[in-house]
Structure 1
Amino acid sequence: MRSIRLPDGARLATYVDGPAQAPLTTVLVLGLSVTAALWRSHVPLLLREGIRVVRYDQRAHGYSTRGTAALSLNQLADDLAHLLETAAPRGPLVLAGHSMGAMTLMRLVARHRHLAPRIRGLVLISPPYGGISTRTGSGPAQSFLTLGRNLLASACTHAPYVLDAARRRLPDTSRWALRPHVQRASGALPLPCRRGLHTTATGDIAALWHDLAGQQPDPGPLQQLAGRIHLLAGSLDALIPPEQTGHLAACLPDAHLEIVPDATHALPLRHAQLVTDRITRCASPLLISQPTEAVTSAREATPP
């Protein structure tokens, strides 16, 4: 693990696997509430294909610190741009992101258009069309679930300190436990996914949620990547229904849309090989064209 310092003082816990001379780097971007451990099954698969892999904890998640900047999608995109300058400053890229991570990549393309020539593939997993919502479907069951989500969102917004006090009493095994001073290990492995929010105060969760919910559809900047975009959605995703990703695909006629049967919002975890195959498909022209020794070197790298 390496720590990349951002302009506002935040530090991004970053995990780099594979040799610097690999023909291509893929950067894996996580969503809300998890850690870079989300991609633990993908790393060895990508290394075997000769691809250098960079993953990181979003700010205020896992081993990454909060910093002083406001939590917003713009900030997350700027964080990623800074990370790229440090961990992958040159060479072709394939970027993959899940949920909020997919939204981060979409905003990165919009705010940092100079990166477009380097981006050989963009794999967006469960991206919404516009902002996220507490309501994801119709019917009595969905209405009840939406009510619970609205109540939780309201409590996070209006009583964050009360919830913080309650979260400090939760056991470490709870995903909602608050451990603002979690010890940041010097080892190579990220915290387990379930501890992604252990360093995120309730008020920050609310601020980030409200910013993500307020996003308006803006597929225009993605059109510059034309056929380099691959959209993945789970047919059973209850958080970001596949119809949302379908709306985005309708605005990007050159993009490839794939609805994965029987897949939920946990698509990256439960379909690691499929996600890896889609990343590799974006990278394959570059891998084929590279000297054999460069690919062999990447394959011999030690996976996490």
Structure 2
Amino acid sequence: MAGGVLGVGIGIVAAAAAAAAGVGAERLVRARQTAIDLGVEDDFVDIPDHEAAVISDAVPLHVEIDDPSPGSPTRQPTVVLSHGYTQHHGVWHYQRKALRDAGFRVVLWDHRGHGQSEIGDPASYTIEQLGRDLHEVIGQIVPKGPLILIGHSMGGMAIMALAEQFPEVVSERVVGAGFICTSSGALSTVDFGLGKQIGAAVHRLGPGTVSRLSTRQKLVDTALRAGRDVEDFLVHRYSFGSDVPMAVVRYTADMIFQTPMSVISAFMPTLLAHERTDGLAAFDGIETLVMHGQQDRIVPRKHADDMVARMPHSEYIVVEASGHMLPLEHPEIVNTEVVALAERSCRAVDSGKRRARGVPRNVTDLRAGGRSRRTTKRAAAK
């Protein structure tokens, strides 16, 4: 999920709610000025070593494969990265390079209706189907050998759905699992940092608003071109918890708003109905990482706390001054932790022992005078 009712819808409805509360356009522009001032150019183009189309339920899914970087040690597990709602594989721009350089083969894929994957039947836009799609990607691209599965937001839910429907894949092949800014359920109670009243209005109005807009894609495209200032403000507010370069805001906004409204609308009910907390037991005994942004408005930190309560063996990282788009907002922290997860998983493969109980931690990112100051402390999960 990214900056909306679980993507775009919250931005549309929150803008209306803000206007009703007397928040003028000039305030929106002032609020996004910091991100604009930080504006820098960045190159988010990645060239994979291999590309493939995996057919799942008659839908071609776009897959990219990166080989380990030349000169790096070759590690046995393959890392499969799954992105979130209204995003595509590009959300892993920084992590794919870090994993390649650490010697891992990396597989990335676009969910149906997202990125370069094809559109499917609207009835197929469910978390259950994403679990089956992930199973097809694994079966066709990585048919043998140990796996490390890492998912951001809806990508983490797809991993849970895989475990629910294909438990033998997790028990026999998965040696590491990473869940970043995701949830195992109860998303229908989230107020998106708007308070109970406006949060309830978003839930009540958002799905219907997005559903109506799904039939008027040209109107949406025209409105977005005319209202880039508001678009950037909403993405910055709901996707991030700190000041980030404008290039990152724009890259995130492009991912979100390039997703067809029909796809955004069709996926919304399955996200709100998602409930797989009991299924987290499937990851018991597997090297597991849970990461979350302290200021995540889309999926509040409590969702990560609840997941860790069911997976007490997890390494738990909470990043302060960070929102929902953690892989793009603080890539150096995420890079460090996903590579550490992959390396722990390698040691588990080599030793034949799958379990290693992680100690929950908070990783704090403090910004002062334009510089980053990072401290790490060990703490019990809240």
Report the TM-score range of the alignment, normalised by the length of the smaller protein.
0.7 to 0.9
Distance 1:245 1:221, change over 3 A: closer
Match of residue 132 from structure 1: 187
Match of residue 251 from structure 1: 310
Distance 1:114 1:160, change over 3 A: same
Sequence identity of aligned pairs in percent? 23
Segments of structure 2 that go 5 or more residues without pairing to the other structure are 1-47, 233-250, 351-382
Q: Does the 8 A contact of 1:15 with 1:54 survive in 2?
A: yes
Output the CA distance in 2 between the equivalents of 1:124 and 1:285: 16
Match of residue 4 from structure 2: none
Match of residue 88 from structure 2: 35
For residue 261 of structure 1, report the CA deviation from its aligned partner. Answer: 1.7
Distance 1:105 1:161, change over 3 A: closer
Q: Does the 8 A contact of 1:226 with 1:252 survive in 2?
A: no
> How large is the Cα RMSD of the aligned pairs?
2.9
For residue 280 of structure 1, report the CA deviation from its aligned partner. Answer: 2.1
Q: Does the 8 A contact of 2:180 with 2:290 survive in 1?
A: yes
Q: Does the 8 A contact of 1:37 with 1:193 survive in 2?
A: no
Q: Does the 8 A contact of 1:219 with 1:252 survive in 2?
A: no
The count of residues paired between Structure 1 and Structure 2 equals 273
Residues 277-286 or 239-248, more deviating: 277-286
Output the CA distance in 2 between the equivalents of 1:257 and 1:136: 24
SS in 2 for 1:122: strand
Residues 94-103 or 128-137, more deviating: 128-137
For residue 231 of structure 1, report the CA deviation from its aligned partner. Answer: 0.9
Residues 254-263 or 119-128, more deviating: 254-263
Is 1:100 aligned to residue 149 of structure 2? no
TM, length-normalised to structure 1: 0.79
SS in 2 for 1:216: coil
Post-superposition Cα deviations, 1:65-112, rounded to whole Å, max 9, x if no partner, equal: 112361000111111110011111111111111111111111111111
Match of residue 23 from structure 1: 76
Q: Aligned to 1:65, which of 97, 118, 129? A: 118
Aligned 1:113-124 pairs, distance under 5 A: 113-116=167-170, 117-124=172-179
Distance 1:119 1:287, change over 3 A: closer
Distance 1:40 1:56, change over 3 A: same
Higher relative contact order, chain-length normalized (CA < 8 Å, sep 6+): 1
Match of residue 82 from structure 1: 136
Aligned 1:220-259 pairs, distance under 5 A: 220-259=279-318
Is 1:280 aligned to residue 335 of structure 2? no
SS in 2 for 1:133: helix
Distance 1:285 1:214, change over 3 A: closer
Q: Does the 8 A contact of 2:157 with 2:184 survive in 1?
A: no
Distance 1:173 1:7, change over 3 A: farther
SS in 2 for 1:91: coil
Q: Does the 8 A contact of 1:233 with 1:245 survive in 2?
A: yes
In our comparison, the structure showing a higher alpha carbon Rg is: 2
TM, length-normalised to structure 2: 0.64
Residues 242-251 or 13-22, more deviating: 13-22
Q: Give the AA of the match of 1:8.
A: D
Output the CA distance in 2 between the equivalents of 1:260 and 1:19: 28
Q: Does the 8 A contact of 1:223 with 1:252 survive in 2?
A: no
Output the CA distance in 2 between the equivalents of 1:249 and 1:75: 25
SS in 1 for 2:80: strand
Aligned 1:49-64 pairs, distance under 5 A: 49-64=102-117
